[in-house]
Structure 1
Amino acid sequence: MVYLTRLEHFNAAHKLYNPNWTKAHNEAVFGLCANENWHGHNFELFVTVKGNPDPDTGFLMDVKVLSQIVNDRVIEALDHKNLNIEVPFLQGKMCTTENLAMAIWDQIVPHLPDKVHLHCIKLYETPRIYVEYFGE
């Protein structure tokens, strides 16, 4: 089994806010992340696929194809966007990094070649905070 990782970057804004709560409760739970005027992050996205290399090429998959899938299905949808408002696959979800990682997983899986499996989405919100999702 071989693991191949592609690193991508995107910038996006969001806020953490539960509309069923009061402003005071949202601020108590989410702190500055509940800012009414949003806040942004420079996200780092690691997409790791796994499988066995093709005996003819030695590749698990063509890295250009992996890059194209990630860019077409994820980066174009998220980069320089307001995650709460502008991203259809996040509508109705709390825009946490955890939920974003799971939503990214769902955008990639259907487009991978046969015999290649998505192993992990690792999403850095800041240099010190990241989420890993393994599709479980």
Structure 2
Amino acid sequence: MKKSRALLFFLVFLMHFPSVQAARFSGDYLLQVCGSDEQGKELLPGGHIACQAYISGVMDYHNLIRSLGAAPSVDFCVPEGTPLKEIHQKVWGYIASHHHEQGPFIAAPGVALGLFSAYPCEASD
């Protein structure tokens, strides 16, 4: 009885808050967050941290899929020890040059395509 009351209270409590959606990065938003001026200074304070964290998350998920023996639909092979700043710049460059394809859509596929473009896997003989 106490558990059902607590659950009911919790559900009523949640109804008082507006709906919350998961944060979604679009290609357009990623361009802003990852962008730099001519001197290399980030356009949005803290943007590079968010950008590199997002890219790292896409890379981590890709590695998880591979470790489970599944073939990712877009496969890339970033060499061990590649600086995150370099990866960031290459992904940003790809999304910027393919803005018409990536801009309004969720950024993760664009990040994966940028990584594939910059770091394709070597063909095995």
| TM-score normalised by the chain length of structure 1 | 0.28
Larger radius of gyration: 2
| TM-score normalised by the chain length of structure 2 | 0.30
